[in-house]
A and B are shown apart, each in its own frame.
Chain A
Amino acid sequence: MNPRRKKRLFAVVAVIFGIGSAVGLTLYALQENINLFYTPSELIEGKGPEKELPYIGQKLRIGGMVVPGSVDRVETSLDVTFKLIDTGPMVTIKYHGILPDLFREGQGIVAQGTLVEPNVIEAFEVLAKHDEEYMPAEIAEAVKGIKHEKPKYNLNSEN
């Protein structure tokens, strides 16, 4: 092999090694760090064609609408519980902390946490999007059966 080819070979091997280790690392890290997304109905009734239920202790994400009137706050501590709903059964979320600004009853939110009882999740994070009309795409799909919704220009009706 002439030196030029040798260098090319070295370069190619280096690239393959780099990409290979990236993919390897990625797959390894993914095993631990993928969180499945559930809607409240899926959490209770099972997800997918096999109707798989999450196990107690599983880390997951859940998205739904906050049931109006369900937000229960203890006056002297930051413990809060509320219920989430999509089209079927409700799920209870427990959270300790200050809720995001855009958290409101009747609004769509996403929570991340651990399943502690079949229908109770202890959340370590509650997210509401930076937009007053936000409904997480996954919930929109579950609730309305639509995939994407165009932004609406219906200012007239409001004013």
Chain B
Amino acid sequence: MIPEIGYFSLVLAMGLSLLLCIFPLWGAYTGNLRLMRTAPSLAVGQCLLVLFSFGVLIYITLTDDFTVAYVAHHSSSTLPWYYKVTSTWGGHEGAILLWLVMQASWTALVAMMSKSLPWVLRARVLGVLGFLGVGFMLYTLWMSSPFERLLPYYPVEGRDLNPLLQDPGMIIHPPLLYMGYVGLSVSFSFAIAALLTGKLDNTWAKWSRPWTMAAWGFLTLGITIGSWWAYAELGWGGWWFWDPVENASLMPWLVATALLHSLAITEKRGVFKSWTVLLAIAAFSLCLLGTFIVRSGIIVSVHAFATDPDRGLFILSFLALVVGGSLALYGLRVSQVYSEGRYKLVSREVGLWVNNIFLVVATLIVLLGTLLPMIHKELGLGSISIGVPFFNQMFAILIVPFAILMGMAPMLRWKQNKLPPLAKKWAGIFVATIVITSAWLFSSFDEISTLTYLATALAVWICIATVVDLVEKVSVHPSTAQGLKRLGMSYWAMVLGHVGIAFVIASVTLTSAYSVERSVVMKKGETATLNDYEYRFEGVNEIRGPNYGGHAGEVTVFKDGEYVTLLHAEKRLYDVGMQFMTEAAIDDGFFRDLYLALGESMGNGAWSLRIYHKPYVRWMWLGGILISVAGFIVLADKRYRRRKQTSVEHA
């Protein structure tokens, strides 16, 4: 009975979504304030029903109700309770329900936080969000219900959660990623509402900006944690594979990054409006495309999930409707958009514009690289793979001008700049970059390739330029304290975001260039050396977890004869699926990670082990966290606080 209540609650939620899609939009069209005013309560009601439904799914998972197909497939009675909760989004149906939870929550948040928006805009934004809600709920109810029963013959035990997903990283990664994905639907809705209203002014950009920043912050954090999970859990020491599933999350991130820079120009200077709208549409469309790629099975991925062509077709049709509809509307309205601002070639406007081009080009490359194998195959030309070298090569080329620009652009002023003083400043920063990069690299490493030097210099360049700019902006004020106070949150976000990118560039460069790995076969008491570290194999113990057994290899690490750490690397065999899993042991550090994976028993007490030494790898996730913080602190900006009693209701 309880699963049916969950399903029924979703049916009701879908009813409310349908009303949310119709009433406010119709009200805004006809100027009927009463209809428009239904939007917030419909949004909140829908959210409560979806949350209830999700609560039901968690409840039936915790109570091991294996009459429900989803629970039987993704959970088991021996699973620890927190992984039972995780299992509610470990499979397709549950993941889509989580998507709905996020969608409904964002919608309700927009409904509650947008009190000072004009009713027409508010109603339209919520109406568009309602439309998207209808699409996803229809999909859930029709072809992806997590409440389907296995009656009358049901198993007494579930099939367990995929052991790879039984990891703390996987508890938080999907919700964060979905928060980001779905959050971009808010930017999308603001763009569509602005197009419908026909008023593409700064107000729209100003309102859309904090939502976009928040969504982007979550997306960044989600991708970062996904990368960290791959590193810690897959046992290969890798952190990014250019897999279609990863690319699916990177594309919206790239476009959203372009979007928030473009929104800044539109808000401050009233230019690039139609471009900004287009980016908002593109960002969310790429989220849908990503879902299609991951869920349809059209692309062969090492970690694509349960796939089903019917579902793919539904998502593709929805995607076509959303993209086609919004582009048609865009085409109708774009001719009415005029830019107000004027600017010259050397100006912040142009700097940001070039940044946007780079980001869009990067997106196109990822898109091409991801989709070409599929197109190639569907054309009957056979199966090809476009691998890591392709993407690495392309991004290595793109990052050079992009990073140089990233250091320069914040110093540009709006409208117009005189070049000579800037050029002088940049020359100074360039010299400082060379000095610091050389000092850093030559003191840390023996061999330095030109490429490594260049890429590291880019990261240093960004950092120095950002700091120089920060100091200059503070020093125009009489006192430092006052200067710091005057800098807005958006400025701080820029500083953090850019420094975060510099960290990522430095980490990717140095860890790619200087990571070393050794596969060894050792018996108890034997040692192996890698870089300056000595690893002594202490043997293997049997282990027993709640739902798995296996072996743990113990390895003591010494450096210059001194004890560093004891690594404990596990090889687990999960009871239900009889699946082997490597649980790597990692000794993390600010400058290097020691990473150890237990291989297999080679007989007579010998085991294969894989040892990695990974310098600066942690900076990647540190950078990712800095970037996402940049997304969140903008929310603290005074300009975006809700103003009381200033709302003008006109309809």
Residues of A within 8 A of B (CB): 3, 11, 14-15, 18-19, 21-23, 25-26, 29-30, 32-37, 47-48, 61, 73, 75-78, 96-102, 110, 112, 127, 129-132, 136-138, 148, 150-151, 153, 155-156, 158-159
Contact = CB atoms under 8 A, between A and B. Distances in A.
Contact of A75 (B300, B393, B602): B602
Contacts of B297: 137, 148
A76 B364 contact: no
21 contacts: A3-B342, A22-B364, A22-B365, A22-B368, A25-B365, A32-B393, A33-B386, A33-B393, A34-B386, A36-B383, A47-B382, A78-B519, A97-B610, A98-B608, A101-B235, A101-B581, A132-B579, A137-B297, A138-B300, A151-B308, A159-B157
B302 A153 contact: no
B241 to A, nearest CB: 10
A150 B308 contact: yes
Given A18-B361, A29-B393, A98 B302 contact: no
B309 to A, nearest CB: 5
Nearest to B600: A98
Interface stretch (B14-22, B133-141, B148-156, B635-643): B148-156
B159 A155 contact: yes
Nearest to A22: B361
Interface string B564-589: 00000000000001111110000000
A98 to B, nearest CB: 4
| Most A-side CB within 10 Å, residue of B159, B365, B385 | B385
A35 B376 CA distance: 12
Contacts of A136: 300
B306 to A, nearest CB: 5
A30 B162 CA distance: 35
B375 interface: no
Contacts of B385: 34-35, 37, 61, 112
B360 A18 contact: yes
B382 A36 contact: yes
Interface SS of B by simple majority: mixed
A151 B307 CA distance: 7
Given A26-B365, A34-B384, A101 B157 contact: no
B442 interface: no
A131 B162 contact: yes
B535 to A, nearest CB: 15
B156 A101 contact: no
B155 A102 contact: no
A29 B302 contact: no
B405 interface: no
B436 interface: no
Given A130-B302, A151-B308, A101 B579 contact: yes
Contacts of A21: 361
Given A98-B610, A155-B150, A33 B361 contact: no
B150 A153 contact: yes
A112 B235 contact: no
B521 A153 contact: no
Interface size class of B (residues with CB under 8 A): 35 or more
B419 to A, nearest CB: 18
Contacts of A158: 155
A33 B602 contact: no
A101 B372 CA distance: 30
Contact of B303 (A48, A73, A130): A130
Interface string B491-506: 0000000000000000
Given A25-B365, A78-B608, A127-B302, A156 B382 contact: no
A110 to B, nearest CB: 8
B543 interface: no
Given A33-B389, A101-B581, A102-B580, A25 B397 contact: yes
B470 interface: no
A32 B382 contact: no
B164 interface: yes
B167 to A, nearest CB: 12
| Most A-side CB within 10 Å, residue of B72, B153, B365, B383 | B383
Interface in B332-377: 342, 353-354, 357-358, 360-361, 364-365, 368-369, 372
Contacts of B600: 98-99
Contacts of B162: 130-131
Contacts of B578: 132
A112 B368 CA distance: 21
Given A19-B364, A37-B383, A78 B521 contact: yes
Contact of B150 (A76, A101, A110, A156): A156
B87 to A, nearest CB: 15
B420 interface: no
Contacts of B390: 29-30, 32-34
**Among all A-B residue pairs, the 7 with the closest Cβ atoms:** A33-B390, A37-B383, A98-B599, A159-B155, A18-B357, A22-B361, A101-B580
A109 B104 CA distance: 40
A37 B361 contact: no
Contact of A19 (B73, B361, B604): B361
B323 interface: no
A123 to B, nearest CB: 14
A31 to B, nearest CB: 10
